[in-house]
Amino acid sequence: MSYPTIYPTGTTVYDPQKAFNGYTLFQAKELGALLIDMNGGEVKLWKGLHGFPNKLLEGGYVIGHTGERNTRYSMQDYRDLIQVDWDGNIAWAFNQYEYIEDPGEDPQWMARVHHDYQRQGNPVGYYVPGMPAETDQGNTLILGHKNLVCSKISDKPLLDDVIYEISWDGDILWEWVCSEHFDEFEFREDAKNILCRDPNMRPCGGGMGDWMHLNSMSLLGPNKWYDSGDTRFHPDNIIADGRETNIIFIVSKQTGEVVWKVGPDYDYTPESRLGWIIGQHHAHMIPKGLPGEGNILVFDNGGWAGYGSCHPGSPTGAKNALRDYSRVLEFDPVTLKIVWQYTPHEAGLVHPTDSNRFYSPFISSAQRLPNGNTLITEGSGGRIIEVTAAHERVWEYISPYWGRHFKMNMVYRAYRYPYAYVPQQDPPKEVAIEPLDITTFRVPNSQPKGPRSQVSVAGVLPFQSSSALCVVSDTDGGLADKK
């Protein structure tokens, strides 16, 4: 499908009465950490501060990184994790996970952090009433990388995922290594076969297999499931998801065991209730105190991911699960019943013929807001939207920042925070923005809509109300749920 090359950027839709008003923080491509208000006003830029992602703490603090490791030797390895104040001064920093000696580079300590981290006090990194992250003390949980070989997976070098916890002073207190739990993920034999031959090899560092590619990690925090006696959901347990494997899983903080999971396959009950989750991002448990608390919220990207049987779309069996649209799912982790969703259908698109208009095959996220709305980062196109529980779009922002080296306006993950998180600023004026009538919107020198002359043709029939498309659509009733 084609996309327009000319379109408005910044805030394009805003209903102050229905939105959760506050500041939105995201990493503006090749610019820095950018804080905007609801009308798209740029409140603060921490220029050059990397963010994978950036997170805002009470008092106007921002967490991010000073830079990324040379991609000749690894991928998505960030050197450190730092906390800066409103004026850009470094208030806290950590890099003492591994001492790196890359050829031609100065030897240095690195955190090797990627994709996610959590500061004590808040399980998920976004606003939860009564759960502020610590700003001057507390432990930090970090998602990182480790190079190793695991014969159970492949004889090829792996870029493995690790989760480790550090004290405020930088002492490593706990570590979990993903490959050590390979058997607990229950891959089928055909998946093991392709993993052995090609564990998602990347060219950096002479070749390494990014076999799991964890892209989110958070604590469960207090929840109703544990309160009712289900120990799988202990508040200290950690939920993470693997983009390449289509797995969402929970790790016991005490034992390191995988105590709950969905995936890697979704063709058997009970996972079949969810449909195939593919290449997902930002899977987490909605924290206590927010609407939907205890449910799992995930941006189900679609795209291409997984290991398994060969077919025309995957001749080798690598990335064998395919779908050309995205979904945001909220589901019960016990019954696996979908409680709420935002898919192309809820977005008002004709499914499946127009479904890829809601589609980000990589990055992206979903945040539950205190008023029950959901902030969705449709990352590949730089679009951030806020939708109500009834799927009404009440805020939309398109990033105007395009990378020079990677020519996209992509946004990895955006977060919404209350105005009170930034005491340095008075709350901004909130001005409603009505959606443009795109049928009459014109750029300068483009002619207005409407024919210069018009005639009627005798004998013509009225246009059909049926879609009658070349492929079956949901309006034809051919895509009804047959489960």
What letter does residue 193 receive in the DSSP assignment? H
Mean pLDDT for the chain? Answer: 96
453, part of any domain: no
476, part of any domain: no
- Burial class of residue 441 (count of CB atoms within 10 Å of its CB; 0-12, 13-18, 19+): exposed
Given this model, what pLDDT does residue 268 score? Answer: 86
CATH number where 352 lies: 2.120.10.30
483, part of any domain: no
Q: In this structure, which amino acid lies at residue 369?
A: L
Q: For residue 393, which phi and psi values (nearest 5 degrees)?
A: -80, 115
What's the rounded mean pLDDT across residues 137-164?
99
Tens of pLDDT, residues 326-355: 999 999 999 999 999 999 999 999 988 999
Q: How many domains does the chain have?
A: 1
Q: Which domain holds residue 320?
A: 10-430
Tens of pLDDT, residues 440-468: 999 999 999 999 999 999 999 998 876 66
471, part of any domain: no
Answer whether residue 261 shows pLDDT above 70.
yes
Tens of pLDDT, residues 66-78: 999 999 999 999 9
442, part of any domain: no
Tens of pLDDT, residues 366-401: 999 999 999 999 999 999 999 999 999 999 999 999
Tens of pLDDT, residues 52-101: 999 999 999 999 999 999 999 999 999 999 999 999 999 999 999 999 99
440, part of any domain: no
Given this model, what pLDDT does residue 476 score? Answer: 64
Are the C-beta atoms of 475 and 469 separated by less than 8 Å? no
Q: Is the peptide bond before 53 cis (omega within 30 degrees of 0)?
A: yes
Answer whether residue 477 shows pLDDT above 70.
no
449, part of any domain: no
71, part of any domain: yes
Q: How far apart are CA 57 and CA 269, in angstroms?
A: 41
Q: Is the peptide bond before 352 cis (omega within 30 degrees of 0)?
A: yes
